[in-house]
Amino acid sequence: AAPVAIVSGLSRASRIGVVIRGGGALENLGHARTLVMDKTGTITTGRPTGTDIVAAPGLDPVEVLRLAAAADQVSPHVIAAALVQEARMRSLTLSYPTDVVEEAGTGVTATVDGHRVTVGARQLPPDASAWARAVFARSALDGAVVVWVTVDGRLAGAVQLVDPLRRDAPRTLRRLRSAGLNRLVMLTGDRPEPAEEIGTVLGLDLVCAQQTPSDKVAGVRRERESAVTVMVGDGVNDAPALAAATVGVAMGARGSTASSEAADIVLTTDRLDRLADAMEIARRSRRIAV
Ligand code: ADP
Ligand code: MG
């Protein structure tokens, strides 16, 4: 091995905001063949461009948004941040939530103004009323993220958010393939419809939706049986999977602290293309090293 190549690779990476925790991580990255990624905030921008609120009959959609955003104020999830942002844009006053329980990758339960509020991506209950089923059917068509809001145990409404792909995602994934990552896998906590749509657009090799944090760990372990595996993610719910990968990469700019701490590599700018830069640096250091 040529330590000089490693040191210079690490320093080149750090100059573009890619923090690599040790030469071993750089070397492993250079040998990686499989990339596992999550969706929201990693492949998509996590900055929704359109928001549509539907309330149950008789309820005020703005009040549904207000309660949901209030509950989500302490969540590190990008969708939570988007709800809070939407409420701020509408100048809504958000009460402080108490007794907050976050189920990583699913949503939040909290008390707001004396009401128990849940917000998140739960499955539509089989007895859901017609309006809720209509929301679901429509969002399936346009690949939107749907966040259900319940108040005191009853479905109160849904917020739909259009979370676009990162503009550079197709190009970045092509670069990653040319740099040696010949298997691309997406593991997302979101529903199958938007996940599969993205999988088709990006030509991914495998897409798994509705993944819990432990499903993501199992998925990464499965991939590791056949290849050196990189996992890139942004959420608290991704932290265990990042730790399970040969090389864990955190989207560190807006992602959770937990994912950054679990990672071997942190992209400190909100740019997915830095992963391709890092991969190319790793490959070059490897060529020099052997
Ligand atoms: P991914 O794995 O694609 O990054 P996540 O597992 O982080 O997605 O989240 C899956 C879905 O769960 C999101 O699309 C979102 O709808 C929902 N979700 C998770 N946490 C929250 C939250 N705090 N508030 C609202 N929705 C949430
Ligand atoms: Mg995510």
Task: List, for residues 20-49, the tens digit of each pLDDT value.
Answer: 998 999 999 999 999 999 999 999 998 888
Q: Could you tell me the two tokens for 157?
A: 């409404």
Q: Does domain 50-162 have CATH number 2.30.30.90?
A: no
The pLDDT of 48-61, averaged and rounded, is 91
Q: Which of 38, 72, 270, 273 is catalytic?
A: 38
Output the DSSP codes for 30-75.
HH--EEEE-STTTTB-SS-SEEEEEE-TTS-HHHHHHHHHHHGGG-
Closest ligand 1 atom to the C-alpha of 46?
Answer: 4
Q: Could you tell me the two tokens for 55?
A: 């309330």
Which of 66-70, 117-121, 153-157 has the highest mean predicted lDDT (pLDDT)? 66-70
Q: Could you tell me the two tokens for 263?
A: 């990672």
Residues 128/146, Cβ–Cβ less than 8 Å: no
Q: Which ligand is nearest to the CA of 107?
A: 1
- Of 91, 99, 97, 197, whose CA–CA distance to 145 is shortest? 197
Measuring CA to CA, how many Å separate 274 from each of 64, 106, 147, 209, 228? 38, 28, 30, 25, 20
Say if residue 163's pLDDT is above 70.
yes
Class in CATH terms, 3-45+167-289: alpha beta
Closest residue CA from atom 20 of ligand 1: 107
Residues with CB under 5 A from ligand 2 (ion): 38, 40-41, 234-235
38 labelled catalytic: yes
- What is the Å distance from ligand 2's center to 8 Cα? 31
β-strand partners of 50: 162
Res. 289 pLDDT band, cuts 50 70 90 = low
* Ligand 1 pocket residue status of 34, Cβ below 6 Å: no
State the chain's mean pLDDT as an integer: 92
Q: Could you tell me the two tokens for 63?
A: 């009040």
- What is the Å distance from ligand 1's center to 41 Cα? 10
Q: What is the end-to-end Cα distance of the chain in Å, rounded?
A: 6
* Ligand 1 pocket residue status of 188, Cβ below 6 Å: yes
pLDDT of res. 173: 98
Substitution candidate for ligand 1 out of 147, 160, 204, 236 with most atoms within 8 A of CB: 147
pLDDT of res. 142: 66
* Ligand 1 pocket residue status of 37, Cβ below 6 Å: no
pLDDT of res. 275: 98
Do domains 3-45+167-289 and 50-162 share one topology? The answer is: no
pLDDT of res. 73: 96
Residue pLDDT, tens place only, 169-223? 999 999 999 999 999 999 999 888 889 999 999 999 999 999 999 999 999 999 9
So where are the chain's domains? 3-45+167-289, 50-162
pLDDT of res. 8: 92
